[in-house]
Amino acid sequence: MAFLSSAMSPVTSIIVINLYSDPIVIIQKYSFRTKKFKKLLQKTPSSQMDPESTPIVHHGISSNLTKPNYARCFVIESEYSQENDPSTIVQKYFPPKWHFIPSDPKKNRQFYELILIDTMSIILTHILHPNDPSNFSHSKCTIKKVITLQEWGEHPSKLWEFSTPFEPQFFNYWDYKNAWFITFYLQNKQLDHCWLFNFDKSSTDQLPNWFLKWWILFGPIKEILPKLFKHAFKVFEKNYQVPAQMSSFPSLLHFYTNFQLPWILHWDYMILQGSPFKILARRFEVTWWDQFEFDEILYEYFQFVIEKLKLYQNCSKLPPKKRKKEY
């Protein structure tokens, strides 16, 4: 499923082959999101829309919501404890153009990204800024699978080799696990980079337990769902039979994976006043992708929702099915 509308501003696409419960006070947060979200959520021109489907496909600008969960990066040392600008702290601690502290200088973000691509865990597309080919505007990621420890085989320290030359040439399961976080610490010069995520339909037969942390940080929240989707989600929660091996994961994850729903994520920095030290942290914002169109399965499920709950008095039936668009 392609997600980037031709109605968006011209861009150059590069397809890469294949919590904290302590009381915290926010001192300063760095926000760059508004323009980027609006750019990603440009309304589709009416000429590209089927008028009969307009009541169901809610095009337009959705609100971006800050998630309640954040990720601590590090405790700020006393030399910089008076600094309240997150960008200054980032420059003091991270290597140039990096957004994490490396355990090995050779293991850069590209190393971790290649792990996910080479293991066929994701399909990744980076979109370049139209006025600056050296700068990413936003990225699209389809999650195809998440390898469990059992699937890795033998022992987590077992080394796998890249299929293409890279230094380092080998990686273990702990590298793979870290890749699911560090890969998405990509930012651009303006610090307004966004991710467009969705799951492949075969991606979640089984997930490792640690993936719950990924979902808590990078996944969507139910508050961004349009009204019809919220009603569908309520019915889904009551009727979906969760596989035993997936019972520890939240219902929203099952909802998104079963219907391959997309969401947009942006992260930036903030400084927290912990006890007793300041902390640099990432905060995460998500929004619904308004240009999403229902596929066959989702269409039939919504038909079931409307017939069962009689939610919409003005919508006795869904519009006729139409051929799915490619963006």
Q: What is the pLDDT of residues 74-120, one digit of tens each?
A: 999 999 988 888 989 999 999 988 999 998 999 999 999 999 999 99
Asked, for residue 327, whether it belongs to a domain, the answer is no
pLDDT score at 62: 66
Average model confidence (pLDDT) across the chain? 77
Query: Can you tell me the distance from the alpha carbon of 325 to that of 53, in angstroms, rounded to the nearest whole number?
Result: 12
pLDDT at 27 over 60: no
Is residue 314 assigned to a domain? no
Whether 8 has a pLDDT exceeding 80, the answer reads no
Contact present, 185 and 99 (Cβ < 8 Å) = yes
Find out whether 299 and 321 touch, Cβ atoms under 8 Å: yes
226, 311 in Cβ contact below 8 A?
no
Residue predicted with more confidence, 48 or 265:
265
Consecutive H or E run containing 36: helix 33-40
Strand partners, 196: 140, 264
CA 239 to chain CA centroid, nearest Å: 26
Q: Is 323 a domain residue?
A: no
- Residue 63: the pLDDT is 75
Q: What is the pLDDT of residue 231?
A: 82
Question: What integer is the mean pLDDT of 276-281?
Answer: 93
Given this model, what pLDDT does residue 307 score? Answer: 60
The CA-to-CA distance between both ends of the chain, in Å, stands at 8
> Given pLDDT bands bounded at 50, 70 and 90, which one contains residue 293?
confident
Q: Is residue 147 in some structural domain? A: yes
Angle of helix 251-259 versus helix 296-309 axis, rounded to 10: 130
5: in domain: no
Q: Which residue has the higher pLDDT, 9 or 208?
A: 208
Q: What is the mean pLDDT of residues 298-306?
A: 65
User: pLDDT digit string (tens) for 177-206?
Assistant: 999 999 999 998 888 899 999 999 766 678
- Give the pLDDT mean for 24-40: 38
CB 132 within 8 A of CB 139: no
Residue 291 falls within a domain, yes or no?
yes
List pLDDT tens digits, range 199-216: 997 666 789 999 999 999
Residue 321 lies in a domain: no
| DSSP string for residues in 188-231 | -TTS--EEEEEE-TTS-SS--TTHHHHHHHHS--GGGS-HHHHH
Tell me, yes or no, whether 3 lies in a domain.
no
Q: Give the pLDDT score at 44.
A: 33
Q: What is the pLDDT of residue 204?
A: 67
Task: Give the per-residue pLDDT at 5.
Answer: 32
Give the tens place of pLDDT for each residue, 133-168: 888 889 999 999 999 999 998 899 999 999 999 999
Question: Which pLDDT does position 238 carry in this prediction?
Answer: 86
Asked if residue 272 lies in contact with residue 264, where contact means CB atoms within 8 angstroms, the answer is no
Closest CA to 264 of 81, 16, 38: 38
Domain with 240, as residue range(s), is 12-309
Dmax (CA) for the chain in angstroms is 65
Task: Please name the helix (run of DSSP H) or strand (run of DSSP E) that holds residue 278, with its range, or none.
Answer: strand 278-288
Q: Where are the beta strands (DSSP E) in 47-115?
A: 65-75
Hunting for tokens 């926010």 — which residue is that?
Answer: 26
Q: What is the pLDDT of residue 90?
A: 92
In this structure, how many other beta carbons lie within 10 angstroms of the beta carbon of residue 321?
Answer: 13
What is the C-alpha separation between 301 and 308, in angstroms, rounded?
11
Q: Is 166 helix (H, G, I), strand (E, B) or coil?
A: coil
Q: How many domains are there within the chain?
A: 1
Instruction: Output 236 or 6, whichever has higher pLDDT.
Output: 236
Mean pLDDT, residues 219-228 taken together: 92
For the residues 4-26, what does the mean pLDDT come to?
A: 32
C-alpha distances out from residue 151 to 105, 145, 146, 148, 207, Å: 28, 11, 10, 5, 11
